[in-house]
Structure 1
Amino acid sequence: IFFGSEHITHVGMALNNKEYIHSAGSPYNRVTINSFDKADAHYDERLLNIVYGLRRVIPEPARVESAV
């Protein structure tokens, strides 16, 4: 997950469809988990508003069709 209003200034990694981990800068200065889910206690609207883009680095595993 890339964050920034005009250019990329911050990067995070998705943990699942809602949560992501990133290094929170000042005043927090720690690694934290936030959420894109407005109902979650870790939702951060400020970060949602500056999502620059998302990209999968590791491809999804291939799905195998069952022969049964």
Structure 2
Amino acid sequence: AELMLPVLLLPFMVPPLIGAVQVTSRLLDARPLSEMLGWLRLLALYDVVFVTLCTMAFAAVVDE
């Protein structure tokens, strides 16, 4: 049971991890921000989706 959470979260965490690595490598190479725009949009989309889902699920999870 304790092993299931990392296995289930892996597909959701790989795209933001790849995006963060790509943006960081381009920042360290001093490339223009326009090259990173696609990855930054992906990261922003993940933020919006997960904040929205967590906000909607909070009441159901924390039901007193």
Scaled by the length of structure 1, the TM-score of the pair is: 0.26
Q: Which has the higher helix share?
A: 2
Scaled by the length of structure 2, the TM-score of the pair is: 0.27
